[in-house]
Each structure stands twice: as structure tokens, then as C-alpha cells.
Structure 1
């Protein structure tokens, strides 16, 4: 039976860069040094007013095809994860298929998940490949959360950035992803939400968990999200390890959704692991939602910190509430065969 192999990744970031120094000039009353100390973020990339998630995803895809000499005609499925689609309908992945001139025999699917979306997408891709439906999947994540954020929102503007990542998932005889575990708890949907823009009437829309302090369409209850994360994620990690007869010493690194430095450090303390086992690489891009894990993997590959023999764990968590994890070996890093 074939298995999914996580292949090359290409990242595209919007041209505009917003630094903490620039924000400090615009908002002298903000304590940007303290904020940066807690978030670990010093700059973010911001999509232009007319730039959408599909624009970012198409740019990342074209970079992937060019940099890795990939025949676009070989793509037989497009998976697109975003919480900022171009339109309520049509499906953005169908528009991307056309813009990239992919075959019309290519399947196309959008799914709306945020911070856990990359691991969920890998699970979907693995299922498509194991069932024989697809052989070469273009897995795209793209987000423009900044379009939901008011300029004066100190709590969100200093965290979220825009980005896209294109990942090639191919069929392989070697199993490199396994032990998938998923979770969801919709009772926490009011911790991170955009309550307008859908079909539910405003009078009956989801309400923020606590008083909304800013004008942003996006609302986030940071403390509640941290409490959820440090409870649900370690339990899931323990379950994955136990069900696969592994211990913490068998795992080289826990590659986690790059939310903020504070959240990841609290997870590290709760799990009682050394800092290097949970790499934090978000200072130059911020929290890019579903794009954080592929960006992290790309950064680790470029700096030679991944090898094909080590077992790592990929972990996503956040909006939904949702969480997901799986075990992974970077076998593509050994073969570079696409």
C-alpha cells in the first residue's frame, strides 16, 4: 500500500514588512519591547489591500514548480487550507487549479481550519494516497488574517502575519507519516472567532467569550487559548507516544504550530523537555496560522536541522477549537526525489 511522503516546500511572503519599530513610532504608548518579549515576534509580512490568499498560494505554487522542476501536469489533487478564502463561493481551490493551469482531471478541495490545518491536511492527503485516489497532491496553506485586524488592535496586530506555503505530497512505498491523532471541541469556538461574513444572522452570531476590547473583526481570548493548549496538547502527545510504543526519548523534535513564544514555552515547561526540542522560529514572520508548520519545516531543512532517520512529531492546535498530531520522518530530505 502506498503512503504519503511530505516532499518539497516553497514559502511565499507578502512584500510589505511591518516591524515593531515601525509600530512603536505609530503608537508610542505601546510597550513593544514587552510585547516582543512575550510573543517572540519582531516583524510580520502584511498582504496588500488587493492581495488575497489565492494570490499568495499561487505565488508559492509557482515557486515550488520552478525551484523543484515539478511538472504541473502531474498534479492530480489540490488541497487548500485557509480561513480567509477569496469568496464564500466558488471554491478557491478550483480557481487556483485554473490559475495554475493544472489538469481539469485534478481534484480540488478547500477546508477551513486554522492552526491545526497543516496536520489535518497531511492526514487527508495520506488518506487520498492510501485509497489510490491521488498520487501527487499540491497541498496549499494560505492566510491573510491581517485583513480581519483593526490597525489600533495592540493584542492582534503584533502577532499575526500573512503567508502561503506550497507542499508537494507524493505516493511512496516508505511510511514516513503515521500515528495521526485529531481532536475538536466546538464549545471553545468563542475563544478565537470572526462573527460576521457568514450566513448566520448577526442577531444570532457567535459572541466573543469576554468583552471585546478592540474594533477588529477577529477576536482572540489569549489566556483561555493558552489554558486549552497546555491541557489538550500534552495529553494528545502522550496518547500518540503510547499508541506507537514510543517515549519522549525516541522523539528528536516536537514541531509545533508557532503561536507565540509564551505559549510554546509554557508547553515546553508542561512537557518538561529542553528548549531545543521545541524549536521556535517565528520572529521574522509572526503567527501565520495554518502556514506556521510548513514554514518551520522549510526553515529547519534550510539550516540542516532535520535528518531522514530521526522521528519527529508534528503538532497543530488552536481555532475551532481543534488539535492534531502525527509522527514524521523527513525521508524526502534523504532522497530529494520528486
Structure 2
């Protein structure tokens, strides 16, 4: 599975966080001065991310369209079906949705890596409009989340793929980050317990990343970069401080885009393209959040 190209799209409306909340300490903590909102549909935002894919691949060769979203335009049909139609993908293309959040891109890659030899060319799309879920007075969410989308072309190549993967799922912590159907809880708005989620990240996610780093050391794999979910400054800097690894190789761009949920790692891939110029070079991806879940993979050349 070669990640041939990643394109991204951000909500068109740029919002200064200090126009929402008069609190300089808040921006200092999150590292996010601006968030971005889309007034378009989720599929339309996804379509924008897909605008340039034909520069890199014939759309008629795409055999699977997988869309990760937690802000669907429709409960049915699947949003990937609507997207496939608007993109003009062939009618023999399989289209499926995955309802996952900040872990979704990494988890989708795990599935695609197993499917890629059959569906040679796969379009992986992430799209979330979390700002449509937020209460105006909720600083913990309104000051960090942006609407964003991405499109990644996954092309079959037996020399590239996932070398290692690790997953963690704990549904007992569902109440730390949720949006209920209807208005039965929190009036239907997104709820996030930031401090508790950081504790989960420190206790569960960081050890997963450390295990992946150690796997690379034990197998003589050179880590070119670590791509972690861009939750906020407190999370990204916190993870960096707990890793015995070169800080400059743990990439970050949350200050430019905010927290784009399932698209945050694709935004990193756009800004920090994968590099496999060195022998045995690999990269680590770590997605974590809603569930609570976390997924960590090592991606690179399978044969060095």
C-alpha cells in the first residue's frame, strides 16, 4: 500500500478564537489562534479535498472509496456513495463509510492495507464538520475544533505497507467525549472532558507510541517522522515531553489549522511529505480520541 498523494481542504470561514472568548490564557494553552468553519455540507467539503486527485490517478481506476466521518449529511445512503457519484467514480466502485473520529484515518489505513491487493486503487477520504456540534459557550471545544477534509490515494504496492500496528479500545470511557443522538444528553452538543482525555493519552497512547519506537529500534528501522493527532498544544507538547525521541521529528501544525479530527494526520502528511530516501526508513502514525480509542502504526518499506 503506497500512499501516493494526500490533498486537504479547510473550512472557508476563519474565526479568531479571541473573538469567541476573551481569554489569552486559553490560546496560550491550546496554541490555536484561529479555527475554521465550513458552511457547506460534509460531502461538499470532502469534494473540495478531492479536487486535484485526477492529477495523480485516473478516477476510473478507483475501485474503493472509503469515507471516514462523524458528521454525516445523511444517515442513509452512506455519504461515500453520494461523494462517489459527485466525483464521477465508476459504478463498479465499492463505497463505504466509517464512523470514527480522531483515530479514524489510522484505522482506515489498517483496513485498506489488507484490502489493497484486491482493490488496487483506493480513495480514502476523511471529512468532519465538528463545529456544527458545538455549544457557543463551550471553551473546551469551540477553541480547538476546525472543519476539515482530506483525500488520500492508496495504491497497491507490495513493497510498502503497515509493518506494525497496535490498537486500544475502551468504551467504558465513552462519556469523556461524546455526542448523543437527538438531545437526550448535553442537549445534543458535543461534550469533551479535556483533562481526562489528556490523562488517557498520557497513560495509554504514549506507551503505545513508545512500543512502536522500540519496535523500530529492535528491527533496525529508521524513523523519519512521527505523525500524531493534532489535538492541541497541551497534548502535542505533552506527548513530545514524554518521548525519548528527536522533538523535531514529531511533526506539528495544530497552530495553523486547529484540531481537524480525522483529517489532522492527513494535514500533517500534506505539510510534511513522507520520505523514504533512506534504507529501512519508516514513519509512525498515531490517532487517538473518540471511543476512547487509539491506533498506532508503523508504515514504510516492507523489505527495507
TM-score by length of 2: 0.91
Quick one: distance in 2 between partners of 1:228 and 1:149? 22
What corresponds to 2:200 in structure 1?
A: 228
What do residues 70-113 of structure 1 show as CA deviations (whole Å, max 9, x unaligned)? 21111100000001011111111111111111111000110011
What corresponds to 1:164 in structure 2?
A: 149
Asked if 1 retains the 8 angstrom alpha-carbon contact of 2:2 and 2:155, the reply is yes
What corresponds to 2:140 in structure 1?
A: 155
Aligned structure 1 segments of 4 or more residues deviating by more than 6 angstroms: none
Q: How many residues align?
A: 300
Q: Offset at 1:306?
A: 3.9
| CA shift in 2, pair 1:35/1:89, >3 Å | same
Asked if 1 retains the 8 angstrom alpha-carbon contact of 2:181 and 2:188, the reply is no
Quick one: distance in 2 between partners of 1:38 and 1:107? 43
Asked if 1 retains the 8 angstrom alpha-carbon contact of 2:15 and 2:37, the reply is yes
- Of 169, 174, 183, which residue of structure 1 is paired with 2:159? 174
What corresponds to 1:316 in structure 2?
A: 287
Give the RMSD, CA atoms, in angstroms: 2.2
Kindly report which structure 2 residues correspond to 1:59-98, keeping only aligned pairs within 5 A, or say none. Answer: 59-65=48-54, 68-98=55-85
What corresponds to 1:34 in structure 2?
A: 25
Asked if 2 retains the 8 angstrom alpha-carbon contact of 1:145 and 1:162, the reply is yes
In structure 2, the gaps of 5 or more residues are none
Q: Offset at 1:278?
A: 1.6
What corresponds to 2:13 in structure 1?
A: 16
Quick one: distance in 2 between partners of 1:176 and 1:317? 20
Quick one: distance in 1 between partners of 2:224 and 2:62? 32
Asked if 2 retains the 8 angstrom alpha-carbon contact of 1:141 and 1:166, the reply is yes
What corresponds to 1:185 in structure 2?
A: 170
Q: Offset at 1:245?
A: 5.7
| CA shift in 2, pair 1:118/1:148, >3 Å | same
Quick one: distance in 1 between partners of 2:214 and 2:246? 20
Kindly report which structure 2 residues correspond to 1:1-338, keeping only aligned pairs within 5 A, or say none. Answer: 4-23=1-20, 27=21, 30-31=22-23, 33-48=24-39, 51-65=40-54, 68-130=55-117, 132=118, 134-197=119-182, 202=184, 217-243=189-215, 246=218, 250-301=222-273, 306-309=275-278, 310-329=281-300
| CA shift in 2, pair 1:38/1:248, >3 Å | farther
Larger Rg: 1
What do residues 252-272 of structure 1 show as CA deviations (whole Å, max 9, x unaligned)? 322100001101111122223
In structure 1, the gaps of 5 or more residues are 332-338
Asked if 2 retains the 8 angstrom alpha-carbon contact of 1:306 and 1:330, the reply is no
Quick one: distance in 2 between partners of 1:89 and 1:110? 10
Q: Offset at 1:315?
A: 0.6
Q: Name the SS of the counterpart of 1:254 in structure 2.
A: strand
